[in-house]
């Protein structure tokens, strides 16, 4: 990822855009943070937020004409949040919080004429920036233009005291004439004319300052404030004029450009998106005593109406995004930094490897930000640069090798046929989880279809794709093509939406259809035994069906034909959530994957309907009752209590696959699978708790068998003379496995096993 693509990504995620109120506020008051404190009744803290951006909150906070309310997002629901009234309520219920910070002295001097809100703001801002400032106003005109508004006299006294405290030379004096003004300017002073002061207005000679810089006529002379052209009166505009002029005067005194990089000053457009679906209408709080404004209690309630506008659409939907406590804009930067480090700790590897790559974020994002594309491309770059942690995906990649190896891979024409128009491609997960379904479906396909249907057992390569292993992925697809070719380029009938999606996207030359569409189209649905089928199920769409509406429709239609009322989950169809297996999340981050599965399982109290074997097993592993679509369609092959069937362990999946291959070869083609590896003859047994520990540690039965075989053959093993148990280790490839075992009657009992990746000197690699 380069700087340029980072910036494009950051621009895409609009979570950090200001809410409508703050964008419209000429001073960019952080209204969202203000109302958060106000809603909690923390008026002092709320005032502190006003003080951060607002000059003289004691004055302006009482009389602001709140342009923010014209654009409040709540207007789309009912009425704007009463920000103006809340500020007033805050001022009345709090005391000044922070002493203004004064920066160290700077060279340069400014003179302000007129003490309206604009002039006062200029004096305040420039004195705080460290300039020498004088402010002159004719007698009795302090607060010019504000008289008659609801500001108590003490607030003006306090404002004057504040200015004096920060060393503004504040004095009642006549406004100078044009000649005196010229002299000041010739001496290099920055001068501000507050147009609310009639005598200062005379000096402006009826001219209006430049809108962007508030420069009047000549360099160094600035002007602002004053009555609106339409005769209206806007305190916020006066304060904003003061702020803009002080910015220009600062630049003038420091001799830098008056215009560069000032685009973010003043009212702005925002690109923020906030979803208001489900926001309940709640009208504005009307003060019990309208003259006194909102009471503290009323203010709390009114502040509670604020929506705290933000986007977070993707984070709300995705447990993974929520887990890292930020949002994609931040994540993109973290990932960029992670990519850029040459030496040192790569903090974000785990985050990059934990994304399910399911693409939900892109669909819910108003700007189509795809965390999936980002994480996948970075994974690929990590693999290319040799920076991918081997432990992240090794286990799944080993499984892929197994599934494309002699124990599972198989390509056969229909029994007796020379060529086939279709080939059933059940995928590795259905074969691992429910091999009997594979046999049953293959029987059905051969019966129901007019053309001959072959069989292909193997893997679509998705694990390699997800791991960022482009090269291995390509090789896997090529191997699959090699298997298909001799059958006469049949159309693959997939039972797994991941196979379907992967092949459609990455191997468009391979014709692919889905079992669900075929079953739905032929209408030859087997009739399930009455009473065995549940009345209603909540359907979970696999994330790999996101772009395949026909597939989702076919699954629903089939369930309907079985007499099941299909209910929908909150994120469904193209918005569906991943079960936690996608993108190898469960391999790289099992804890998070489990949380993902549990949250999804809790979204509906009823039994779920899955139509991906992996989704089914993942939900089953959380204790959720879940049906596979094939449990409905082929109840006789579904077992006694399909919804309660537990998830299939890793070792069992492998055994299921090789047994399926062996059985089908024998039953349908009369061939022997042959091929037993020596370790397969090692008989092992273990208690259930040991077996589940092996599952958690991703240690397979065959790993145990290999260690024991090696130890028994070489005699290399430790022994505990008291218990008689052995402890032996063996490193077949990249992982060293340790097994504690003892011989028993016709084999071995395993008590424990663990592994590490570090190699001891002399280990064969």
CB 216 within 8 A of CB 222: yes
Q: How far is the CB of 374 from ligand SF4 (least distance, A)?
A: 10
Q: Report the 10 Å Cβ neighbour count for 647.
A: 18
Determine the interface stretch with another protein among 192-200, 313-321, 494-502, 725-733 (rule: CB under 8 A): 725-733
Q: Does residue 355 interact with ligand SF4 by CB under 6 A?
A: no
CA distance linking residue 283 with residue 302, whole number of Å: 9
CB 404 within 8 A of CB 475: no
Residue from 675, 718, 743, 744 binding another protein (CB under 8 A): 718
Give residues with Cβ within 8 angstroms of 618, minimum separation 6.
Answer: 579, 580, 581, 586, 593, 597, 647
Q: How far is the CB of 209 from ligand SF4 (least distance, A)?
A: 31
Q: Does residue 27 interact with ligand SF4 by CB under 6 A?
A: no
Q: Does residue 416 interact with another protein by CB under 8 A?
A: no
Q: Does residue 211 interact with another protein by CB under 8 A?
A: no
Contact of residue 715 among another protein, ligand SF4, none (CB under 5-8 Å per partner type):
another protein
Residue from 324, 327, 442, 473 binding ligand SF4 (CB under 6 A): 327
Q: What b/e readout covers 143-153, taking b as 16+ CB neighbours within 10 angstroms? A: bbbbeeeebee
Give residues with Cβ within 8 angstroms of 444, minimum separation 6.
Answer: 524, 526, 634
Q: Does residue 764 interact with another protein by CB under 8 A?
A: no
Q: By C-beta, is 52 or 693 nearer to ligand SF4?
A: 52
Q: By C-beta, is 206 or 715 nearer to another protein?
A: 715
Contact of residue 459 among another protein, ligand SF4, none (CB under 5-8 Å per partner type):
none
Contact of residue 721 among ligand SF4, another protein, none (CB under 5-8 Å per partner type):
another protein
CA distance linking residue 607 with residue 596, whole number of Å: 17
Residue from 13, 170, 585, 694 binding ligand SF4 (CB under 6 A): 13
Q: Does residue 30 interact with ligand SF4 by CB under 6 A?
A: no
Residue from 48, 66, 73, 540 binding ligand SF4 (CB under 6 A): 73
Q: Which residues pair with 752 in a beta bridge?
A: 740
Determine the interface stretch with another protein among 119-127, 438-446, 636-644, 724-732 (rule: CB under 8 A): 724-732
Of 428, 361, 441, nearest in space to 399 by CA: 428
Q: How far is the CB of 372 from ligand SF4 (least distance, A)?
A: 12
Q: By C-beta, is 312 or 742 nearer to ligand SF4?
A: 312
Residue from 255, 345, 385, 764 binding another protein (CB under 8 A): 345
Element (H, E) at 512: strand 512-514
Q: Does residue 347 interact with another protein by CB under 8 A?
A: yes
Q: Does residue 161 interact with another protein by CB under 8 A?
A: no
Q: Does residue 21 interact with ligand SF4 by CB under 6 A?
A: yes
- Categorise residue 360: left if φ over 0, alpha if ψ from -120 to 50, beta otherwise: alpha
Determine the interface stretch with another protein among 95-103, 409-417, 509-517, 713-721 (rule: CB under 8 A): 713-721
CA distance linking residue 702 with residue 684, whole number of Å: 10
User: Cα dihedral sign for 710, 712, 716, 717?
Assistant: positive
Q: By C-beta, is 215 or 711 nearer to another protein?
A: 711
CA distance linking residue 654 with residue 574, whole number of Å: 32
Residue from 150, 260, 676, 758 binding another protein (CB under 8 A): 758
* 565 exposure class (CB count in 10 Å sphere: 0-12, 13-18, 19+): exposed
Q: How far is the CB of 389 from another protein (least distance, A)?
A: 3
Residue from 46, 112, 236, 365 binding ligand SF4 (CB under 6 A): 365
CB 702 within 8 A of CB 493: no
**Dihedral, CA atoms, 103, 105, 108, 109, nearest 10 degrees?**
80
CA distance linking residue 547 with residue 541, whole number of Å: 11
Q: Does residue 354 interact with ligand SF4 by CB under 6 A?
A: no
Q: At what angle do helices 390-403 and 470-484 cross, to 10 degrees?
A: 10
Find the distance separating the first CA and the last CA of the chain, reported in whole Å: 34
Determine the interface stretch with another protein among 83-91, 356-364, 583-591, 727-735 (rule: CB under 8 A): 727-735
Contact of residue 365 among ligand SF4, another protein, none (CB under 5-8 Å per partner type):
ligand SF4
CA 149 to chain CA mean position, Å:
48
* Residue 34, token pair as written in the block: 């203000």
Q: Does residue 49 interact with ligand SF4 by CB under 6 A?
A: no
Give the pairing of strands 747-756 and 221-224. Answer: unpaired
Q: Does residue 390 interact with another protein by CB under 8 A?
A: yes
CB 658 within 8 A of CB 407: yes
Q: Does residue 333 interact with ligand SF4 by CB under 6 A?
A: no
Q: How far is the CB of 39 from ligand SF4 (least distance, A)?
A: 10
Site string for another protein, 728-747 (x = CB under 8 A): xx------x-x---------
Site string for ligand SF4, 295-314 (x = CB under 6 A): -----------xxxx-xxxx
- Categorise residue 519: left if φ over 0, alpha if ψ from -120 to 50, beta otherwise: alpha
Q: Does residue 564 interact with ligand SF4 by CB under 6 A?
A: no
Q: Does residue 722 interact with another protein by CB under 8 A?
A: yes
**Dihedral, CA atoms, 25, 30, 31, 37, nearest 10 degrees?**
-160
Q: Does residue 391 interact with another protein by CB under 8 A?
A: yes
Region 598-627 residues binding ligand SF4, contact defined as CB under 6 A: none
Q: How far is the CB of 709 from another protein (least distance, A)?
A: 15
CA distance linking residue 210 with residue 207, whole number of Å: 10
In the DSSP assignment, the letter for residue 646 is P
* Residue 12, token pair as written in the block: 């895409």
CA distance linking residue 623 with residue 647, whole number of Å: 9
Q: By C-beta, is 234 or 354 nearer to another protein?
A: 354
CB 634 within 8 A of CB 663: no
Chain residues that interact with ligand SF4, rule: CB under 6 A: 13-15, 19-21, 31-32, 35, 72-74, 81, 83, 306-309, 311-315, 327-329, 364-367, 369
Chain residues that interact with another protein, rule: CB under 8 A: 343-347, 349, 389-392, 715-723, 726-729, 736, 738, 752, 754-761
């Amino acid at each position: 990822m380069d700087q340029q693509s980072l910036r494009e990504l950051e621009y895409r995620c609009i979570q950090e855009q200001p809410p409508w109120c703050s964008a419209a506020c000429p001073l960019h008051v952080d209204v969202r943070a203000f109302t958060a404190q106000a809603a909690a009744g923390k008026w002092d803290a709320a005032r502190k937020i006003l003080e951060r951006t607002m000059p003289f909150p004691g004055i302006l906070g009482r009389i602001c004409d709140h342009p923010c309310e014209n654009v409040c997002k709540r207007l789309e629901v009912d009425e704007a949040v009463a920000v103006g009234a809340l500020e007033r309520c805050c001022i009345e219920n709090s005391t000044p919080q922070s002493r203004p910070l004064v920066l160290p002295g700077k060279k340069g001097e400014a003179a302000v004429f007129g003490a309206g809100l604009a002039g006062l703001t200029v004096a305040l801002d420039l004195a705080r920036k460290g300039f020498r400032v004088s402010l002159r106003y004719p007698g009795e005109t302090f607060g010019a233009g504000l008289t008659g508004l609801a500001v108590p006299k003490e607030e003006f006294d306090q404002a004057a005291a504040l200015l004096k405290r920060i060393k503004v030379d504040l004095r009642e004096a006549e406004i100078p004439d044009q000649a005196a003004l010229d002299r000041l300017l010739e001496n290099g002073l920055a001068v501000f004319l507050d147009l609310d002061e009639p005598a200062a207005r005379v000096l402006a000679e009826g001219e209006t300052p430049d809108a962007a810089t508030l420069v009047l006529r000549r360099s160094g002379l600035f002007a602002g404030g004053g009555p609106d052209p339409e005769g209206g009166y806007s305190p916020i505009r006066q304060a904003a004029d003061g702020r803009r002029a002080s910015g220009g005067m600062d630049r003038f005194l420091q001799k830098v450009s008056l215009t560069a990089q000032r685009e973010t000053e003043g009212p702005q457009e925002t690109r923020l998106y906030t979803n208001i679906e489900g926001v309940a209408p709640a009208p504005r709080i009307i003060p019990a005593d309208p003259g006194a404004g909102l009471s503290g209690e009323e203010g709390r309630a009114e502040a509670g109406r604020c929506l705290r506008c933000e986007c977070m659409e993707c984070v709300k939907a995705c447990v993974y995004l929520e887990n890292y406590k930020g949002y994609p804009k931040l994540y993109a930067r973290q990932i960029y930094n992670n990519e850029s480090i040459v030496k040192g700790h790569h903090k974000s590897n785990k985050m990059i490897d934990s994304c399910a790559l399911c693409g939900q974020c892109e669909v819910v994002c108003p700007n189509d930000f795809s965390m999936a594309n980002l994480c996948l491309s970075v994974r690929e770059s990590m693999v290319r640069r040799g920076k991918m942690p081997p432990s992240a995906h090794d286990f799944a990649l080993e499984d892929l090798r197994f599934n494309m190896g002699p124990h599972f891979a198989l390509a056969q024409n229909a029994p007796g046929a020379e060529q086939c128009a279709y080939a059933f491609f059940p995928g590795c997960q259905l074969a691992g989880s429910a091999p009997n379904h594979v046999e049953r479906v293959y029987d059905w396909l051969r019966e129901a279809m007019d053309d001959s249907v072959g069989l292909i057992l193997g893997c679509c390569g998705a694990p390699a794709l997800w791991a960022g292993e482009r090269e291995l992925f390509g090789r896997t697809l090529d191997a699959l093509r090699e298997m298909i070719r001799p059958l006469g380029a049949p159309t693959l009938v997939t039972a797994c939406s991941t196979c379907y999606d992967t092949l459609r996207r990455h191997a468009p030359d391979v014709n692919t259809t889905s079992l669900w569409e075929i079953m739905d189209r032929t209408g030859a649905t087997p009739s399930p035994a009455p009473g065995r089928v549940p009345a209603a199920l909540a359907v979970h769409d696999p994330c790999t069906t996101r772009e395949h509406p026909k597939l989702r429709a076919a699954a629903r239609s089939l369930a309907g034909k079985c007499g099941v009322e299909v209910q929908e989950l909150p994120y469904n169809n193209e918005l569906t959530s991943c079960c936690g297996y996608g993108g190898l999340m469960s391999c790289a981050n099992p804890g998070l994957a489990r949380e993902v599965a549990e949250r999804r399982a809790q979204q509906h109290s009823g039994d779920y309907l899955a139509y991906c074997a992996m989704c089914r097993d993942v939900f089953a592993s959380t204790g959720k009752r879940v049906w596979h679509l094939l449990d409905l369609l082929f109840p006789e092959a579904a077992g006694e209590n399909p919804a309660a069937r537990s998830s299939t362990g890793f070792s069992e999946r492998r055994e299921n696959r090789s047994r399926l291959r062996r059985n089908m070869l024998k039953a349908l083609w009369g061939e022997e699978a042959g091929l037993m590896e020596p370790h397969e003859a090692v008989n092992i047994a273990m208690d259930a708790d040991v077996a589940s520990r092996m599952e958690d540690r991703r240690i397979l039965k065959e790993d145990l068998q290999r260690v024991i075989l090696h130890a028994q053959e070489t005699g290399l093993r430790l022994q505990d003379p008291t218990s008689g148990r052995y402890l032996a280790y063996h490193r077949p490839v990249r992982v060293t496995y340790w097994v504690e075992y003892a011989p028993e009657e016709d084999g071995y009992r395993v008590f424990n096993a663990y592994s590490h990746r570090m190699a001891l000197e002399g280990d064969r690699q």
